[in-house]
Amino acid sequence: MGSFLDKPRTETNPEVMEGKDLTCALVSMQGWRVTQEDAHVMQLGVPGHDDVSWFGVFDGHGGSLISNEAAKRLLGKIDLSSTEPEALQAAMRKGFLECDAEMRKMDAIQRGDDHSGSTAITAFVTPTHIVTGNCGDSRAILVASNGVKPLSFDHKPYNEGEAKRITEAGGTVTMRRVNGDLAVSRALGDYVYKHSRTLPAEKQQVSPEPEFTVHKRDAATDQFLVLACDGIWDVMENDEVGAFLQERVAAGVDNLGELADCLVRECLRLGSRDNMSVVLVALPAAPKPTPEAIAAYKKSKVQAEAAASEEEEADVQVEGAPAGASGGVSAAAQG
């Protein structure tokens, strides 16, 4: 879980979708981690409800099997016969538990070849509400013109209620971790912490049960829905993310994929060492940059890219200099 590369992998491939009065973007970066264990989902329109959208970020640990499978399977386990907030919460809770139980039957899990787990931050966006379901320490926020509203709360082993459940299930909280090892107290997978045959799934040391937040949409003030793994929240607070997005739009960033990309790269600059994934949903009141700001931003971007290209070319020339050449690194190394 704690292995790092010598230098970060910074490739991103922003994905952007538009429809249902929403624009949404996904950006994921491997960063300093040896592998990419995050998974994600963006779906505009769900079965039987063309006006309801589904989003999720699944932050894997100890491998990517559970995060990838949860991203594929979870929506199919949720009963969408009603999309009223109360019905959605009940259906999501049941879906999380069923999905976790189903994944436990996978061959790799049964053989003991895979011990991975995954947090999950998910959201349904209906015409009237945003309903989030959270399991772990990935996080969702709503950025509005009048402030930033948390739409989830982290499940950490040292939280009073979480610690009580862990100890009652026979575990310990040591060094702020479950049994001194796992840094989250709720997750999908992680079946080595779910071995008590006398306890239901939600009472195990690590619980797959989500908690919910319901937000009534406000067309006049709601700007962005942000779902992201803890690689973002390790280095930025909720209010800082909201301010960053608003400031970048004001500075001229007019593409949602680029805006999400800017956020991930800022977190890398601030020192995040984790995989980073962000699903960014622009709601109808999302701010728009002025034409002047767009023009200025594009000019500054061209200048920055030109400077980076010159620097890269200079580095290549230095690296390719023969031993003993003026300015060559080989001569210094031989010194």
DSSP string, 36-83: --EEEEEEEEETTEEEEEEEEEEEEES-SHHHHHHHHHGGGGS--S--
The phi, psi pair for 2, rounded to 5°, reads: -105, 15
Class assignment of domain 10-155+187-286? Answer: alpha beta
More confident residue, 194 or 302: 194
Give the mean model confidence (pLDDT) for residues 8-18. Answer: 97
**Which ranges of 183-290 does DSSP label H, i.e. alpha helix?**
230-233, 238-250, 256-269
pTM of the model: 0.91
| Proportion of the chain in helix, strand, coil states, percent, rounded to 5 | 35, 30, 35
The mean pLDDT value for 43-63 works out to 97
From CA 1, how far away is CA 217, in angstroms rounded? 38
Write out pLDDT tens, residues 143-164.
Answer: 999 999 999 999 999 999 999 9
For 290, phi then psi, to 5°, come to -75, 155
What percent of the chain is modeled with pLDDT above 90?
Answer: 87
Kindly tell me if the per-residue pLDDT of 324 is higher than 60.
no
Integer Cα distance of 102 and 97 in angstroms:
9
In whole numbers, what is the pLDDT of the chain averaged over residues? Answer: 93
Tell me which residue has tokens 């003030």.
221
